[in-house]
């Protein structure tokens, strides 16, 4: 027989497992310590090289410029909308300039235009003069325009009066524009 057989082991299996686990935890904790230290040093260096005050100043400057551009964008949008609306109104409005030029071209030199209104399809003219002959000449020219029908139609006398204080005759006419 063999006398070297030892049935009682002097090694503890549970103790070896605990020691191996303890070594793993020490290694993991050492790696975590080194990682945290490196990250802390890196953040410290970045803080020194990139000062936070300059970043805040740049942020404030950028915010001001964004507000300025926003105001400009609002003004641009508002002006563009107004131009579009004005263009729509102008495209829908009739061109009465040739007829107005014809009417104003027949006004004698000593007759003054007190009021001129142009509405869609109609024109109103209020004139005054110190002499009745000038008013009569203007009235004859307007009647001839109305008879031809090219410049104005349906001539109506709105008013005819004499201002005794100033000695001026006033005439108000309304006509349709073809």
- Domains of the chain as residue ranges with CATH: 97-176 (3.30.1360.100)
Residues 56-106 have pLDDT tens digits of: 888 888 888 888 888 899 999 999 999 999 998 888 777 778 888 888 888
Mean predicted lDDT score pLDDT of the chain: 86
Task: Judge residue 86's burial from the number of C-beta atoms within 10 Å of its C-beta, 0-12 exposed, 13-18 middle, 19 or more buried.
Answer: exposed
Paired tokens of 61? 């400057």
Average pLDDT estimate for 133-149: 88
Average pLDDT estimate for 138-159: 87
pLDDT of residue 1: 53
pLDDT of residue 150: 81
Task: Judge residue 158's burial from the number of C-beta atoms within 10 Å of its C-beta, 0-12 exposed, 13-18 middle, 19 or more buried.
Answer: exposed
Q: What is the DSSP string of 62-99?
A: HHHHHHHHHHHHHHHHHHHHHHHHHHHHHHHS---HHH
73 vs 7: which has the higher pLDDT: 73
Asked whether the predicted pLDDT for residue 21 surpasses 80, the reply is: yes
pLDDT of residue 118: 87
**b/e per residue 113-122 (b: at least 16 CB within 10 A):** eeeeebeeeb
Asked whether the predicted pLDDT for residue 7 surpasses 70, the reply is: no
Q: From CA 54, how far away is CA 10, in angstroms rounded?
A: 69
In sequence order, the β-bridge partners of residue 162 are 169
Residues 28-60 have pLDDT tens digits of: 999 999 999 999 999 888 878 877 777 788 888
**CB 100 within 8 Å of CB 116:** yes
pLDDT of residue 100: 83
The DSSP symbol for 3 reads T
pTM value is 0.50
Upper half-sphere CA count for residue 57 (Cβ side, 13 Å): 5
Average pLDDT estimate for 137-141: 90
pLDDT over 90, % of the chain: 35
**CB 158 within 8 Å of CB 170:** no
pLDDT of residue 5: 64
Contacts of 107 (CB under 8 A, 6+ apart): 113, 127, 138
């Amino acid at each position: 027989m063999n006398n070297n057989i030892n049935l009682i082991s002097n090694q503890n299996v549970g103790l070896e497992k605990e020691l191996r686990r303890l070594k793993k935890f020490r290694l993991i904790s050492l790696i975590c310590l080194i990682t945290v230290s490196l990250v802390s040093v890196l953040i410290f260096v970045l803080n020194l090289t990139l000062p936070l005050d300059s970043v805040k100043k740049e942020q404030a400057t950028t915010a001001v410029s964004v507000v300025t551009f926003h105001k400009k964008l609002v003004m641009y949008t508002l002006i563009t909308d107004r131009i579009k609306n004005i263009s729509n109104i102008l495209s829908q409005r009739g061109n009465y300039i040739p007829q107005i030029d014809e009417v104003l071209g027949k006004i004698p030199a000593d007759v003054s235009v007190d009021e001129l209104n142009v509405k869609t399809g109609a024109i109103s003219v209020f004139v005054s003069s110190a002499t009745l002959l000038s008013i009569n000449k203007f009235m004859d020219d307007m009647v001839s325009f109305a008879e031809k029908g090219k410049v104005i139609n349906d001539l109506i006398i709105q008013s005819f009066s004499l201002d005794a204080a100033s000695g001026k005759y006033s005439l108000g006419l309304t006509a349709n524009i073809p």
